Amino acid sequence: MISPANYVALAAILFVIGAVGVLVRRNALVVFMCVELMLNAVNLAFIAFARLHGDLNGQVIAFFVMVVAAAEVVVGLAILTSIFRARKSASVDDANLLKY
């Protein structure tokens, strides 16, 4: 049986990759996808800890994370389409009217 520590380490690696993607990429869609990757990594850690402790609370929290992530994606993508309609661009660099 594989230790939950391996799953937690994998979750940490995936989380960091997602964070680097958010910092590096400038297409807003890709940034969103990297945020999803981070949320998924955290879910993996939740489920690994649920297994470690032998109860279901971690799984319930992961379930709630999925619900919130789904809502976040819906609103985020709607904002993205409305920005794209106004600015003709999906790059996070082009939405800079609130700068300074």
Query: What percent of the chain is helix, strand and coil (3-state, nearest 5)?
Result: 80, 0, 20
Please state the closest distance from residue 89 (CB atom) to another protein, in A.
9
Q: Is 95 in the site for another protein (CB under 8 A)?
A: no
CB of 46 to another protein, least distance (A): 9
CA dist., res. 10 & res. 41, Å (int): 8
Subset of residues 56 to 75 that bind another protein, contact rule: CB under 8 A: 56-57, 59-60, 62-64, 66-75
Positions 11 through 40 that interact with another protein (CB under 8 A) = 12-21, 23-27, 29-30, 32-34, 36-37, 40
Going by C-alpha positions, the residue among 43, 37, 40 that lies closest to residue 24 is 37
